[in-house]
Amino acid sequence: MKYYILSLVVLVSMTACNGQGSVKEQAKKTEQAIKDAPRPGAEPASEAGWTMTANVNGKAWKATSVMPPAAAGVMIGYVGEGSYLMMYSFEKRYAKVGKTAKLGDGYSVDFWVKNGSNYSGYTGLMEITALNGEWAEGKFSFTAKGLTVTDGFYRVKLK
């Protein structure tokens, strides 16, 4: 009988320890999901909907959510709480395919990385490449001291 009770206690203890590992893994997954969740007012990024991508200093950058221009007056692509890319957005009434804006020359642009460098003196270009109803697609690139953003692409609903 003692052997049976001792075996049962060992089995329950081992199961409980395995459960702790699962709980910790689940907590990490939940924490990451919260960090990657869209900010209030932002739309989740997707291949066919809201999107913003670029190469930042040669590395792929892809927004996990995008703040609509109607909400912020500018386009903002977020990667969780780790970074954001913000730039000017054309108003719907002035949007035309081929229209360009010189970023940093009266048209806002900013790239921020949590615990990273602060950049200033941006220069670059953005262009509308397609319009489909309320949706606009375009490309962008810009530089600042220590920062090169190339092959930028966005798709947003215009305000």
The 10s digit of each residue's pLDDT in 125-154 is 999 999 999 899 999 999 999 999 999 999
* 64 & 104 share domain: yes
* 29 & 50 share domain: no
pLDDT surpassing 60 at residue 36: no
pTM: 0.73
Q: In the predicted model, what is the mean pLDDT of residues 84-113?
A: 90
* 14 & 56 share domain: no
Q: What is the pLDDT of residue 2?
A: 46
Q: In the predicted model, what is the mean pLDDT of residues 6-17?
A: 52
* 128 & 70 share domain: yes
What span, in angstroms and rounded, lies between the C-alpha atoms of 131 and 90? Answer: 12
Q: Please count the structural domains in the chain.
A: 2
* 15 & 48 share domain: no
* Domain hosting residue 132, numbered range: 43-157
The answer to whether 87 and 103 are in contact (CB under 8 A) is yes
What span, in angstroms and rounded, lies between the C-alpha atoms of 131 and 37? Answer: 28
* 85 & 64 share domain: yes
Residue 14: pLDDT band with limits 50, 70, 90: low
* 27 & 78 share domain: no
Using the 8-state DSSP alphabet, how is residue 49 labeled?
Answer: S
Select, from the ranges 3-7, 52-56, 65-69, the one with the highest average predicted confidence (pLDDT).
52-56
Phi/psi region, residue 65 (left: phi>0; alpha: psi -120 to 50; beta: rest), is beta
